C-alpha cells in the first residue's frame, strides 16, 4: 500500500514528499510522533525543497554579473552609501510598487555589485530578476526584431519583476537603439521595475541620447518614479587589489636586482 502511495506522490511531482515519507517509514524515531507532526514534517520538507528549486531557477535566469549579497556590502568605505536607504530597498517594496532605481557614480565605486546584491535579494523574495548591460540588451532587442523572436523576448522581459540595465549610457545611445529601449521602458512603465546603473549623473543623460525627442520620452518614464543612490569616491578596486602599490614596487626592485646580477 505504501509503495502505491509513494508512486502516486512521484507522479504528482511530490518527489521530496515521497522520499521523506519513505524515510519516516524506515526510521524508528518517527514512530513516537503524532499523525499531525509527521504530516507537518512531510509538508515542510516538500515546501522547502520547492522554495530552494525556485530560488536556484530565479538566480540562474537572472544571469547576474557577479555573485553578491547585501550582507557583503561595505558600508565603511566613504562613498555616500546610506545603510538605512539600502536596507529599505532590500525589503523590495519598491519593486512591488513598480518603482525604478537609479544608481550613479564613478567607475569602480560599486554600482554593479549593489545592483546584483539587490537582485539577489529580490530572487530570495520570490521575484524574478534579470541583469544585462545596456549595449547587450539593445543589441538583443534589435536582433529579435530581425529574426522574429521579438514577441517571445518581449513576453519574457515583461514577466521580469526587476530588470537591471548596467553601464547605462556608457556610450552615446544611437537613435535605433534608443527607440528599442524606449519601447521596452514604455512596456515596463508602472508595471515592472527597472534599475539603471550609470557613471553619468542624471542631468547629463539627455545629451547622451542622440535623438532629443526619444531622450525626452525615455527620461520622462524613468526619472519621476525612481529612487536614487548617488555614489561618490574612489574605485573600490583599489582597496581590494591583490597587489598593492608598495608590493608592486618591491617586486620591481627585486626584478631589477636580479637583472643586475
What mean pLDDT do residues 143-150 have? 95
pLDDT on residue 84:
95
pLDDT on residue 255:
56
What is the DSSP track for 195-233? Answer: EEEESS-GGGTGGGBS-HHHHHHHHHHHSTTEEEEE--S
Which SS3 state, helix, strand or coil, does residue 88 take?
A: helix
pLDDT on residue 132:
97
Which tens digit of pLDDT belongs to each residue from 77-96?
Answer: 889 999 999 999 999 999 99
64-234 architecture in CATH? 3-Layer(aba) Sandwich (3.40)
pTM for the structure as a whole: 0.78
pLDDT on residue 93:
97
What mean pLDDT do residues 180-188 have? 95
What mean pLDDT do residues 234-254 have? 62
- pLDDT-derived band of residue 224, with 50, 70 and 90 as boundaries? confident
Give the number of other Cβ atoms within 10 Å of residue 152's Cβ: 10
* Contact residues for 181 (Cβ-Cβ < 8 A; gap 6+): 134, 137, 138, 141, 165, 173, 218
Q: Decide if 63 contacts 163 (C-beta within 8 A).
A: no
pLDDT on residue 182:
96
Give the number of other Cβ atoms within 10 Å of residue 169's Cβ: 20
What mean pLDDT do residues 128-140 have? 96
- Nearest Cα residue to 55 out of 127, 150, 133, 107: 127
* Contact residues for 208 (Cβ-Cβ < 8 A; gap 6+): 169, 172, 173, 200
Q: Does position 188 have pLDDT exceeding 90, yes or no?
A: yes
- Nearest Cα residue to 128 out of 192, 188, 182, 52: 192
CA gap 168, 200 in Å, rounded: 8
Domain boundaries, given as residue ranges, for the chain: 2-61, 64-234
Q: Decide if 115 contacts 168 (C-beta within 8 A).
A: no
- pLDDT-derived band of residue 1, with 50, 70 and 90 as boundaries? low
Q: Show the CA angle centred on residue 99, arms to residues 97 and 104, nearest 5°.
A: 150
Which tens digit of pLDDT belongs to each residue from 25-52?
Answer: 777 777 677 778 777 877 787 777 777 7
Tell me the pLDDT of the chain averaged across its residues: 87
Amino acid at each position: 500500500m505504501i509503495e502505491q502511495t509513494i508512486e502516486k506522490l512521484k507522479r504528482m511531482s511530490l518527489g521530496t514528499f515521497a522520499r521523506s515519507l519513505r524515510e519516516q517509514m524506515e526510521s524508528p524515531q518517527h514512530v513516537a510522533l503524532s499523525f499531525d507532526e509527521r504530516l507537518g514534517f512531510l509538508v515542510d520538507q516538500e515546501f522547502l525543497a520547492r522554495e530552494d528549486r525556485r530560488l536556484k531557477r530565479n538566480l540562474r535566469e537572472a544571469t547576474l554579473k557577479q555573485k553578491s549579497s547585501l550582507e557583503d556590502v561595505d558600508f565603511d568605505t566613504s562613498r555616500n552609501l546610506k545603510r538605512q536607504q539600502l536596507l529599505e530597498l532590500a525589503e523590495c517594496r519598491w519593486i512591488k510598487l513598480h518603482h525604478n532605481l537609479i544608481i550613479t557614480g564613478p567607475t569602480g565605486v560599486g554600482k554593479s555589485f549593489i545592483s546584483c546584491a539587490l537582485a539577489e535579494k529580490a530572487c530570495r523574495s520570490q521575484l524574478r530578476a534579470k541583469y544585462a548591460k545596456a549595449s547587450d540588451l539593445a543589441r538583443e532587442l534589435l536582433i529579435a526584431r530581425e529574426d522574429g523572436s521579438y514577441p517571445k523576448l518581449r513576453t519574457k522581459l515583461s514577466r521580469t519583476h526587476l530588470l537591471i540595465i548596467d553601464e547605462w549610457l556608457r556610450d552615446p545611445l544611437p537613435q535605433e537603439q534608443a527607440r528599442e529601449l524606449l519601447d521596452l521602458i514604455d512596456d515596463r512603465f508602472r508595471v515592472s521595475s527597472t534599475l539603471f546603473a550609470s557613471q553619468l549623473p542624471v542631468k547629463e543623460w539627455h545629451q547622451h541620447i542622440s535623438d532629443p525627442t526619444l531622450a525626452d520620452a525615455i527620461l520622462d518614464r524613468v526619472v519621476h518614479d525612481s529612487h536614487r543612490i548617488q555614489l561618490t569616491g574612489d574605485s573600490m578596486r583599489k582597496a581590494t587589489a591583490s597587489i598593492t602599490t608598495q608590493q608592486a614596487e618591491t617586486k620591481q626592485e627585486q626584478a631589477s636586482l636580479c637583472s643586475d646580477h
